[in-house]
Structure 1
Amino acid sequence: MTPTRRAFLVGSAALCATTLVSSRLMAASTTTTPDVTILDKDWEFYRGPLEPWQVWHSEELVTWEPQTVPHCFNHYDACDPDIPAYRGSGWYRTKLKAANPYRDGRTMLLFEGAAQTSEVFMGTTSVGKHIGGYNEFAVDITDALKTSKDGALAIHCSNARDLDRMPSDLSDFTLYGGLIRPVHLVYLPELAIESIYSVPEWHPGDTSATVSVTARLSGNTTRTASQIPFTIKLIDSSGKVVTQQKLSKNAGQAEFELATLTIPAVQPWSPETPTLYRCEVTMGTGADTSVTTHRFGIRHTKFEAQGPFLLNGKRLLLRGTHRHEDGAYYAAAMPADQVREEFRLIKAMGANFIRLAHYQQSRQVLDLCDELGLLVWEEVPWCRSGVGSATFQQHGKDTLTAMIDQHRNHPSVLMWGLGNEDDWPGELNGDDREAIRTYMRELHELSHKLDPSRVTSYRRCDFARDIPDVYSPSIWAGWYGGRYTEYAAALEKARKAVPHFIHMEWGADSHAGRHAEDPDPALGTVATGKGTAEKGFDYKLTGGTQRMAKDGEWSETYACDLFDWYLKTSESTPWLTGTAQWVFKDFTTPLRVENPVPRVNQKGLITRDMQLKEGYYVFQSFWAKEPMLRLYGHSFPLRWGKARQKRTARVYSNCSEVELFLNGKSVGRRKRDPNDFPCAGLRWELAFTEGRNELRAVAHEGGKTLEDTVQFRYETRPWSKPVKLLLRTVATQNGRSTVEAELVDVAGVRCLDSRAVVRFSLAGDGRLIDNLGTPDGSRVVQLANGRARITVDHREAVVVGVSSDNIIPGYQELGKHNGQA
């Protein structure tokens, strides 16, 4: 029986079950035969248009490059400062050596993600097409392999513009192209499991839970008329079988229930204890017997009217962030170890919630959220677009269906996001409010039909805020509108507008390495009481009213203050369901060409190459369970002010008391008070010595002693008008040299407040390590406190240059390297 809407909103039991291959394919995470092979090596790639027959007859036309998969063909150009990212065709080819171990078995290709539209060819024969860059899909190549010469496999991926496909080209992130996620060769028996789901039913206070195990089969449907033997085992986290059942089923292709089993002595899943059970299903007998396993968790959720949120019967403040699938060097095709490290950092920060923006993300991401205890808002890519053609609308429904079908069994998934910012100016049919409302309601109802246990959610479309179960308006106090001190009032106002409120997206851009000694002068120009929402084109650096996003310095210092105020506010608001800061890591976007790092959204707590900014530690100081201590300023080597002028020393810590030392002498202890802004009272006003200084912070907590030290030079000389750029080598290793540009005045004093844009260039046999989307990995970049860096890969002697408008350029000769790369 499907729950009523009221019952659905009040509470829902958790569900989880993840198959290794695909809920649209079948496959097992473990089987008795070697039926899954990852196709990661021996690929060749060509970026550009080809006809299918040319793929294998193109040596005189094009040059194919050896490649591994996953691969994104925008891995280098996504944040090129001069040329927009490539939008068009990319071809991949390889030779398959297929040997299906099953009698009368089927051979499939499973794609975890191919961006954005793809077509699969065996030889020159098309065997499958897929629209959408973010959900899994499978192609049956059994018959095509029989006639294909040498198992010749070719895949065409295109991220060319397409009004019938989500997401919109006006989305504030790059629509990458390529085989961005793993590709698998899968062997199936004649009749196979397509999907298995475990649907627990449990309420707080119950000592046991029931688990309904359902299945969907695929393959030779004539066999489904006979009784098929199944064995089901439910296994706890220690490996103990807690219950099992044997049965036979006369199964059809539609999803059907295998059995309902009972788990005694339930161990609920939560962010603190993300306990996962395992369901093991054996189907068939003889040579075609296979064993399928998946993991599941048991939990209960409830959104109270106008807050708060309850997990397993207790209030849980959702402490969250956001994530795009994007990283330096790899773009959307990040290696698995880097993804794991990213999520380790998210968990270590103290987060218990994440919104996956703005599309279905990889199975590895959802598995990590299950394992680490991160609740998830996952979203269909209806982003910044009105309601397009019938094809567009059906694509959105198909994408939502696939996302729910493939991920509805993860205990981490809390909400199905229906879209984002579909009130955007300039979109096709973007002003047709009734059409947007109608389509949003269709997605909402489809989500409930496919998964009655979860709520729907949406961010920023106020004229349709009554449709989703949980809604977030736009609140950007202190960045796109107003000042951060208006945050509490903005929360109260938003709370009253909808039954179930949550706050998604807040924060500030920061140019890593840029710091401030004094309050941002733009603060005094921003009006209060005029609203805190992002409206229209507020993200642009020109036009409109005064706002920190346009007029501020983009320093890490200001970002830390804004984070500090928001966290102080949210942690002390008892009715609040939760919030999620935008965004965990800097990412590329075609819309922000003029940013300090061109084409990069710099609101991350870490850079695109995963270097932690100072703001990360502000979150840790409020959220982390383990004792932590961080002196602000590890990337602030040159501070400034007048002689004997007092400057602020900041410490971010969750310890109860911190002692600070300046140049070896104690300057006192401070007790932490989360309401004492900023730094929860852990701040000192000190007069630094001209020249070299050292700060050391010490705390004792939980039987541990924590220390942190920063060293810096204090500059008392004032600077005048910038005159010239200087270059010097700061590091040399493994065939690479890192150089630093410094902007100085006529007396050679660094212009520490300069935000001039500089351009690095190179003469000789070498290359700039650029287009990384980082402050020290872009050939065009704004200075941070009067300096910028870049690395050069070279073996022979080269000359690196740096220039800026109306400034004397700088040059540095880099000698020949004798070492090995």
Structure 2
Amino acid sequence: MSHVIPINDNWIFSRSDAPDFANQPISGGQAVTLPHTWNMEDGQGGHETYYRGSCWYQRSLQFSEEVLANPIFLEIGAAGNSGRVYVNGQLAGESQCGYAMFRIPLSPYVRSGSNLISIQVDNSYRNDIFPLLADFTFYGGLYREVNLLIMDAVHFDVMDKGRDGIYLTQEKTGSDSFLLTASGRVINETGENKEATIRLCLQDGEGRTVIESEAKLLLEGEAAFQLSKEIHQPILWDGIDQPYLYTAVVSVESDGQTRDFRNIEIGFRTIEATTEQGLLLNGKPIKLNGVCRHQDFGGIGNAITKDHMELDMSLIMEVGANSVRLAHYQHDDYFYTLCDRHGLLVWAEIPFISIPSSIDPENRNADDQLERLIKQAYNHPSIYGWGVQNEITIAVETEHTRSTIQRLEALAKQLDPHRMTVQANINGVEDDSIINTYTDLVGYNLYYGWYYGEIKDLGDRFDAFHNTNPSIPVILSEYGVDTNPKFHSYSPGVQDYTEEYQLLFHQNAIQTINARPYVLGGYVWNMFDFGSANRREGGETGKNLKGLVTIDRKLKKDAFYLYKAYWSKTPFVHVAGRRFVNRHQESNDFVILSNMRHISVYLNDKLIATIDNEEPLKVVKDISLSLGEHTLRAVGDDGSGTSCDNHIIVRRVEEADPAYVLPKKEGNDHVINWFEKFDLSDAEEIELKDGYYSTFDTIDDLYKDETAKAVFLKYFGQFTANPFFEATMNVMSIQKMSQLAFYHIPPELLTVINRELNVIPKPQS
């Protein structure tokens, strides 16, 4: 019988990259317990320097002759962003998929007694390992659990890049019946042919057997198997309302004994997408009330435990979400399991994000990451779609990029023809772009009213997309604003980082999504603030502040309760603005967030207003405050005996509190209008000549010619120290830069630059 043995303790860690550690014990290292990351502080702004490099982990393993008679494997939950495993000085295996589990066969390398396991983990920039560039921290380390697998000589395949060696597929075959199929491979390492029996036993939630099936196998070296059995009138996995799970017990028996088995939870459901009714779960329309999640945690980085994941799940369930986009990579398998058990529909994706590889135009690392994601997460009923790219055209859009998206979509369909494919486009992808035809569902990451435009533009963009693509289901795959709960305003506006503007932004987004049946739903960016080591924004360093909850999970911003009021069925009432304590205006409006119809509002225990409506966001206007401290209380009543109350304390002061306003950076206006120092009067379009440089050439190509490089630096020299610039110059062009709000490039400037570039000849090929 096979055994799984956790080996997460007694590891030695060294931040020094010494090649001798492959075969020599680390001296002067640090004792650590896995999961572990070396970026738990500097990856979230705790230190000025964010370390990306190669580090080492070491542990000794003892094996007896008896254990060595079995096949032995090392299972590593993840190594970010790449890992190389040495056993007694020999390279035994490696991974270049920093978010996926991988296994190493140990039997060829280990011996009786003590064995040295050395793992080199590297989160340095590699142009052929994704992600290349993204707005989140690329944590280094062995940040998930590590196990030892002691297998029977006859066992399910554990080296096919999957997890279980078994793949469960459920398909609806009639009005009240489903076909359950179990497939996989059995490996026979006995050295002699064996007869074996594969058994499938499906148990309901109470442990009762509901169907059984078996098949005979002749095992030579290995053999594929497939078992199918129909189940009638199963209890459906019906999202958060009824996340009912069965357990499939799949075993292989030989020589009269069970040699290996798996217990796998499975749910029966159907999912389809329409533009008329939106997403259909078991034939019923369901709006995707979704949040996005990154896997890191304040002060912990991405080396999170099951306790951290369960806390995240409890907060997601509290807000009332029915779906989660697990961005932008493969998450811990336990979190997918939590989604299964709580009924959350999951968008799962790979880190093919922002920019493609310039040294591998085929982007083959993306294929490997997608194969591992699908094979390792295949058995989770919560997953409805495989994400093949996120904003991959942010810097460049070429035939290579488009063909990679198509190839990934085809690979997803080959590995799992029963689920949909999805993608998330940056706003600059035109509505009629060919890219929008590649996947079953199309997501757009839209930040109108934060990075560009106004919040009201969101609805116009949706309508324009639907008019162009009436048969393509669309999802708002990202939307949000950075919010520091220290900042507040009576007149919130774009990029003031206040809680009040976050409320305005999200109220508009919710109403825009709900008013359009052809929009399947949306995913708030983000459920939690997260590490982004290179960020300096909103009064914080090393963090993206778009979360509904702070990175330490201790503070729920007011927008959290806005979504709870729209989505949750648990009665509650919340008075917004509790951190906006010092109020310098006499007349104040107060926002009440609640899913209860009847609300009574009290100021210093005196009833001042009653509200009777279904609106989740309710406003009590023109409340006069005298100087001094006041208590504002809201009491909700659902009419059937359930009562909820909440209060805040505010203080009327004479002067505005400057601590509520983010200080403007000196010269900020100049940065926004940096181009004003150039003469743009001669901006008449010119016809570009072949064989000469232009704004369509990559920055890297411009840098190969000193004259062209000088033109570029003349206009954009102030941007060259930016990490985004450094990572994208080999694929980014000036033309593409002009589509990004970050650079604030007026159209006239492109023509002026082309007048200078298009007279510089390119080298003759």
TM (norm. structure 2) is 0.81
Partner of 1:469: 440
Note if contact 1:109-1:139 (Cα within 8 Å) is conserved in structure 2: yes
Which of 621, 639, 651 aligns to 1:713? It is 651
Cα 1:80–1:475 change in 2 (3 A) is closer
Alignment of 1:255-266 (within 5 A): 256-266=224-234
Q: 2:577 aligns with which of 629, 633, 637?
A: 633
The equivalent of 2:535 in structure 1 is 592
Letter in 2 for 1:137: F
Residue aligned with 1:562, SS: helix
User: Counterpart amino acid of 2:252?
Assistant: M
Alpha-carbon contact 1:163-1:392 (below 8 Å) kept: no
Relative to structure 1, is the Cα distance of residues 136 and 595 closer, same or farther in structure 2, using a 3 angstrom cutoff? same
Q: C-alpha separation between the residues in 2 aligned to 1:312 and 1:682?
A: 38
The answer to whether the 8 A contact 2:485-2:499 is kept is yes
Partner of 1:648: 589
Instruction: Look up the SS of the partner of 2:408 in the other structure.
Output: helix
Contact 2:185 2:222 in 1 (8 A): yes
Look up the match of 2:247.
278
- Corresponding residue of 1:797: none
How many angstroms does 1:505 deviate by?
A: 0.5
Query: Contact (CA 8 Å) 1:671, 1:681: kept in 2 or not?
Result: no
Is residue 153 from structure 1 mapped to residue 117 from structure 2 by the alignment? yes
Matching residue of 1:672? 613
**Correspondence for 1:403 among 359, 365, 373:** 373
1:511 corresponds in structure 2 to: 484
- Whether 2:606 is the aligned partner of 1:694: answer no
Name the aligned partner's letter for residue 208 of structure 2: K
Q: Distance in 2 between matches of 1:57 and 1:291?
A: 37
In the alignment, does 2:55 pair up with 1:90? Answer: yes
Say which of 313, 322, 332 aligns to 1:352.
322
Partner of 1:788: none
Does residue 186 of the first structure (1) align with residue 116 of the second (2)?
Answer: no
Structure with higher helix content: 2
Q: Give the residue type in structure 1 aligned to 2:650.
A: F
Aligned to 2:334: 364
The question of whether the paired residues in 2 share the 8 Å contact of 1:87 and 1:160 is answered with yes
Post-superposition CA distance 1:501-535 (Å, at most 9, x none) = 1111011110023222x222x4xxxxxxxxxxxxx
Q: Report the counterpart of residue 535 of structure 1 in structure 2.
A: none
- Residue 702 of structure 2 corresponds to none
CA displacement at 1:103 relative to structure 2: 8.1
- CA distance in 2: counterparts of 1:308 and 1:299, whole angstroms: 16
Fraction of identical pairs, as percent? 24
Query: How many residues get paired?
Result: 646
Q: Cα 1:58–1:334, aligned 2, differ >3 Å: closer, same or farther?
A: closer
Which whole-Å CA distance do the structure 2 matches of 1:610 and 1:157 have between them?
Answer: 29
CA distance in 2, matches of 1:662, 1:256: 72
Report the Cα distance in structure 2 between the residues aligned to 1:171 and 1:497, rounded to whole angstroms: 30
Deviation of the 1:391 alpha carbon:
8.3
Paired residue for 2:236? 268
Q: Which amino acid aligns with 1:570?
A: I
Give the 3-state SS of the residue equivalent to 2:536 in structure 1: coil
The residue aligned with 1:583 is: 526
- State the distance in 1 between where 2:321 and 2:226 align: 37
Q: What does residue 516 of structure 2 align with? A: 573
> Does the 8 Å contact 1:214/1:256 carry over to 2?
yes
The question of whether the paired residues in 2 share the 8 Å contact of 1:306 and 1:501 is answered with no
Equivalent positions of 1:79-158 (< 5 A) are 79-80=44-45, 83-98=48-63, 104-146=69-111, 150-158=114-122
The one-letter amino acid of 1:615's match is A
Alpha-carbon distance in structure 1 between the residues aligned to 2:233 and 2:664: 63
- 1:201 and 1:221 map into 2 onto residues whose CA distance is 36
Per the alignment, do residues 221 and 351 of structure 1 end up closer, same or farther by CA in structure 2, a change over 3 Å counting?
Answer: farther
Write the distance in 2 (CA, Å) between the matches of 1:757 and 1:502.
Answer: 35
Which residue does 1:563 correspond to in 2? 506
Instruction: Please give the per-residue CA displacement for 1:190-246, whole angstroms capped at 9, x wherever unaligned.
Output: 12112112211116x7222221111222352855x5421222210011111101134
SS at match of 2:541: coil
Confirm or deny that 1:47 pairs with 2:15.
Answer: yes
- The answer to whether the 8 A contact 2:154-2:259 is kept is no
Checking the alignment, whether the CA contact within 8 Å between 2:352 and 2:389 is kept in structure 1 is yes
2:474 alignment partner in structure 1? 501
3-state SS of paired residue (2:215): strand
Distance 1:87 1:387, change over 3 A: closer
Assess if the C-alpha contact under 8 Å between 1:662 and 1:693 holds in 2.
yes
Distance 1:100 1:326, change over 3 A: farther
Aligned to 1:4: none
Structure 1 unmatched runs, 5+ = 1-31, 523-547, 720-749, 759-821
1:751 aligned partner, one-letter code: P
- Say which of 252, 266, 291 aligns to 1:296: 266
| Runs of 4+ residues deviating >6 angstroms | 100-103, 252-255
Find the aligned partners of 2:33 and 2:437 in 1 and give their Cα distance. Answer: 46
In structure 2, distance between residues paired with 1:82 and 1:39? 30
Corresponding residue of 1:209: 178
Checking the alignment, whether the CA contact within 8 Å between 2:362 and 2:404 is kept in structure 1 is no
Query: Shift of the alpha carbon at 1:666?
Result: 0.4
TM-score where L is the length of structure 1: 0.75
Q: Given the alignment of the two structures, is residue 175 of structure 1 paired with residue 118 of structure 2, yes or no?
A: no
Structure 2 CA distance for partners of 1:112 and 1:392, relative to 1, 3 Å: farther
Check whether the contact 2:497–2:538 (CA below 8 A) recurs between aligned residues. Answer: no
Where does residue 423 of structure 1 map in the other structure?
Answer: 393
Distance in 1 (CA, whole Å) between partners of 2:406 and 2:366 is 13
1:660 lines up with 2:630 in the alignment: no
Counterpart residue type for residue 660 of structure 1: V
SS of aligned partner of 1:365: helix
SS of 2:63 mapped into structure 1: coil
The residue number in structure 1 matching 2:679 is: none
Secondary structure (helix, strand or coil) at the match of 2:394 reads coil
Deviation at 1:112, TM superposition (A): 1.2
Matching residue within 541, 548, 553 for 1:610:
553
Cα deviation for residue 101 of structure 1 reads: 6.6
Q: CA RMSD in A?
A: 2.3
Q: Indicate the SS of the match to 1:143.
A: coil
Alpha-carbon offset, residue 98 of structure 1: 3.5
Q: Are 1:671 and 1:682, in contact at CA under 8 Å, matched by a contact in 2?
A: no
Whether contact under 8 Å (1:100, 1:106) holds in the other structure is no
Deviations 1:462-504 (A, max 9, x none): 3422212211234222212222223322221122344121111
Q: In the TM superposition, what is the alpha-carbon distance from 1:58 to its structure 2 partner?
A: 4.5
Aligned to 2:751: none
Q: Is the 1:307–1:576 contact (alpha carbons within 8 Å) kept by the matching residues of 2? A: no
